[in-house]
């Protein structure tokens, strides 16, 4: 069997690592990175990728959100090629925050109170007496289009950046302005076949660039699993995810794929902050090393609409921590082309590549988030120590990472 994984990040590297670990398959990445092998040069919208998938009779799995939002699943289906991920109609849960918030409201899914604006003047008028507020660009912004504002001045600045300066392009045509919920964050990811859901291990993502949750939002600076929640919260979170899948089916946007619920736990009650229509990054890098079940089997059964034939997914009792090593300046401007040293010294942790490429025998930086160092331990503190000990052996010019990942 051949499998193609679309994407180039740490999530995709981890997906391939897990699938190859449990299955005797031929695995390709499109386009992959410096840590993956059998990398293809095709873009997800390249006809050559369609031809390659036909030639190899491959099963394709989509990693990132952009190909899903652009309809890569629909295109593969037109050619009768098996591919796992939601259609463009279903992926709207992520690529339009405005649509998603209205969907939550109509399906009685608990979320922060919100208002939608398409005129920056109206938005500024609304926030003028608000001290704490969250402002989100409507469209995809690589995890950087969310602004947690602690003052009116910050809110005005966020509106200007999104709607006037157009830092995120057409993603800023509309914005969502919502109340700031305070509590504990939770990443809750399930596999869905359109009807049934199978939950993966819980996790917690660290989105802020700097220690102590300071600085701008990023795509994620680290994660740990499992998240520290009780059974009551877990069951409520599971109910939210099922409610979303049921709601999508009712409006003929059946959702088959990974559905990610970014939640905030307030007084033992989970609220949805956002839905993503794929595995989280870096959450995947801590969930999959703990998974004892065969992930590819669950993906195939979900693709075929047969999840009800499988037992619940099993995970180890170990804890996992992933720390992202980033380029200096991320999530702003940063330099590329820095040689990475020390990767050959790591033997007790897993290094998932993200923003890397290879030139000759050298692995060099090629993105903002460069590597994800993941470690397993009997508990969270043990996993943290192993991860940070491994990081001490790695070096590249401008390397930056948070030192508090996994601290509760």
Percent of the chain exceeding pLDDT 70 equals 100
Number of Cα atoms under 13 Å in the Cβ half of residue 395: 2
Do β-strands 114-117 and 83-84 pair in parallel, antiparallel, or remain unpaired?
A: unpaired
Tell me, rounded to whole angstroms, the distance of Cα 122 from its chain centroid: 32
Is residue 223 in some structural domain? yes
Tell me the CATH number at 40: 3.40.50.20
Residue 97 lies in a domain: no
Parent domain of 10: 2-86
Does a structural domain hold residue 124? yes
User: Mind listing the pLDDT tens digit for each residue in 248-307?
Assistant: 999 999 999 999 999 999 999 999 999 999 999 999 999 999 999 999 999 999 999 999
Asked if the structure places residue 287 within a domain, the reply is: yes
Number of folded domains in the chain? 4
Domain co-membership, 340 together with 372: yes
Regarding whether 335 and 283 lie in a shared domain, the answer is: no
Does residue 232 belong to any structural domain of this protein? yes
In a domain, 106, yes or no: no
100 in a domain, yes or no? Answer: no
Tell me which of 160, 179, 198 is where a domain ends.
179
Same domain (yes/no): 334, 288 = no
- Tell me which H or E stretch contains 274: strand 269-276
Are 83 and 61 a contacting pair, CB within 8 Å? yes
Answer whether residue 405 is part of any domain.
no
State whether 295 and 217 are in the same domain: yes
Same domain for 196 and 137, yes or no, is no
Q: What is the pTM of this model?
A: 0.96
Are residues 16 and 27 in contact, defined by beta-carbon separation less than 8 angstroms? yes
Token readout for 190 is: 């399930």
Reported confidence tier of residue 190, pLDDT bands at 50, 70, 90: very high
H or E element that contains 76? helix 72-78
Chain segment 158-183, per-residue pLDDT in tens: 999 999 999 999 999 999 999 999 99
CATH number of the domain where residue 128 is located: 3.30.1490.20
Same structural domain, 175 and 261: no
Q: Which two tokens stand for residue 300?
A: 């195939």
Query: pLDDT by residue (tens digit) across 102-144?
Result: 999 999 999 999 999 999 999 999 999 888 999 999 999 887 8
Cβ-Cβ contacts under 8 Å for 60 (sequence gap 6 or more): 3, 4, 5, 6, 53, 76, 81, 82, 83, 84
As a whole number of angstroms, the distance between CA 36 and CA 275 comes to 28
Do 143 and 202 share a structural domain? no
């Amino acid at each position: 069997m051949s499998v193609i994984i679309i994407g180039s990040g740490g999530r995709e590297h981890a997906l391939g690592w897990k699938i190859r670990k449990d299955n005797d398959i031929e695995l390709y990445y499109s386009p992959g990175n410096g840590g993956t092998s059998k990398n293809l040069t095709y873009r997800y919208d390249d006809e050559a990728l369609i031809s390659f998938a036909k030639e190899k009779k491959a099963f394709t799995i989509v990693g990132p959100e952009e190909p899903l939002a652009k309809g890569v699943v629909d295109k593969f289906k037109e050619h009768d090629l098996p591919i796992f991920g939601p259609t463009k109609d279903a992926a709207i849960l992520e690529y339009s925050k405005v649509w998603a918030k209205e969907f939550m409201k109509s399906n009685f899914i608990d979320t922060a109170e919100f208002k939608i604006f398409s005129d920056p003047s109206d938005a500024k008028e609304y926030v003028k007496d608000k001290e704490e507020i969250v402002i989100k660009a409507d469209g995809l912004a690589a995890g950087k289009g969310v602004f947690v504002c602690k003052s009116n001045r910050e809110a005005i600045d966020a509106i200007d950046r999104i709607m006037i300066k157009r830092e995120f392009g057409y993603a800023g045509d509309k914005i969502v302005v919502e109340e700031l919920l305070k509590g504990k964050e939770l990443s809750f990811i399930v596999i869905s076949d359109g009807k049934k859901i199978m939950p993966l291990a819980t996790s917690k993502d660290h989105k802020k660039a700097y220690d102590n949750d300071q600085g701008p939002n990023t795509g994620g600076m680290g994660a740990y699993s499992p998240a520290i929640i009780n059974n009551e919260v877990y069951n409520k979170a599971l109910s939210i995810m099922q409610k979303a899948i049921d709601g999508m089916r009712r409006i003929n946007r059946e959702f088959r794929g990974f559905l990610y619920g970014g939640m905030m736990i307030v007084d033992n009650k989970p609220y949805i902050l956002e839905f993503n229509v794929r595995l989280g990054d870096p959450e995947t890098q801590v969930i999959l090393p703990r998974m004892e079940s065969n992930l590819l089997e669950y993906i195939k059964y979900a693709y075929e609409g047969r999840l009800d034939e499988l037992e619940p997914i099993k995970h180890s009792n170990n804890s996992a921590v992933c720390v992202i090593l980033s380029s200096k300046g991320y999530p702003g401007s940063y330099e590329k082309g820095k040689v990475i040293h020390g990767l050959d010294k790591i033997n007790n942790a897993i290094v998932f590549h993200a923003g890397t490429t290879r030139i000759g025998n050298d692995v060099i930086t090629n993105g903002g988030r460069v590597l994800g160092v993941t470690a397993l331990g009997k508990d969270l503190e043990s996993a943290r120590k192993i991860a940070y000990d491994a990081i001490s052996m790695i070096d590249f010019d401008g390397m930056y990472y948070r030192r508090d990942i996994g601290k509760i």
